[in-house]
Amino acid sequence: MYSDVVDLRDFYETSLGQVATRMLRRRLRQLWPDVAGLRLIGLGYASPYLRPFLGEAERVTAFMPAAQGVLHWPKEGPNVTALVDEAELPLQDSSIDRILLVHALECSEQIRPMLAECWRALAGGGRLLVMVPNRRGIWARLDRTPFGAGHPYTPAQLSKLLRDAAFTPVRSAAALFIPPTASRMVLSAAGAWESVGERWFTTFAGVVLIEATKQIYAKPKPILEAKRRLVYRPAPTAI
């Protein structure tokens, strides 16, 4: 079940939400360092993570599922959000270079149709990046944040799900090692928590990230069945 869009907005306006955004943006930038000239879509509630790409990518759009709701974004400019059915994206085939799923996969009741739509919309060299709560992390165990909602995944579970949907996982990462607390002392040391966690405690990260490409199979050569050939007998000679 999706979180309400207002609750998501309110979380990301808190101190904890802003720290989480900063940590995940940093990891996202490491995976996607250059999006110049690319068409980028966020599905779920991805707007906090799309902002750095607004001035770089050719096009940035935030798709928000109907069950979640939609808000105008960004506040300071023309709206680039749209309310969609995640199983029927309003996109042409092979028209998008990057798709970012945040607060989407773990909440959707149409997981396979949504992934099939992402596969259809991605261009041949396109990339899908999925952010989900880590099943082994503390963030998935507490419902005071959006990362405590929905179905969490381990890296192995997420990788298998993507492979079953005709994607090829190419890179994985982990983020959010800081505890989900409002303590100013803890939040001020977020950078240190991330550095230590990335080096020693990746299993217990709050969020799992996997980047994948679409698998494209060659069309099999049709098997031609042998056709029956008619054999003509000469007409009998009249006696």
Overall average pLDDT of the 215-224 stretch = 59
Q: What order of strands is seen across the sheet that includes strand 81-84? A: 81-84, 59-65, 39-44, 96-102, 122-133, 207-214, 167-175
pLDDT reported for residue 232: 44
pLDDT one-digit tens code per residue, 12-40: 999 999 999 999 999 999 999 999 999 99
Which pTM value belongs to this model? 0.87
Overall average pLDDT of the 69-90 stretch = 93
Question: What are the beta bridge partners of residue 84?
Answer: 65
pLDDT one-digit tens code per residue, 109-140: 999 999 999 999 999 889 999 999 999 999 99
Q: Answer whether 122's CB lies under 8 Å from 150's CB.
A: no
pLDDT reported for residue 231: 47
Element (H, E) at 23: helix 15-31
pLDDT reported for residue 233: 52
- What is the DSSP-derived secondary structure letter of residue 218? P
Burial class for 18, CB neighbours closer than 10 Å (0-12, 13-18, 19+): middle
pLDDT reported for residue 220: 52
Using alpha carbons, select from 172, 170, 190, 171 the residue that is nearest to residue 180: 190
pLDDT reported for residue 225: 58
pLDDT reported for residue 186: 87
pLDDT one-digit tens code per residue, 167-204: 999 999 999 999 998 888 888 888 888 888 888 888 88
Q: For residue 76, which amino acid is it?
A: E
Residue 7, SS3?
A: helix
Q: Two tokens at 122?
A: 């991605």
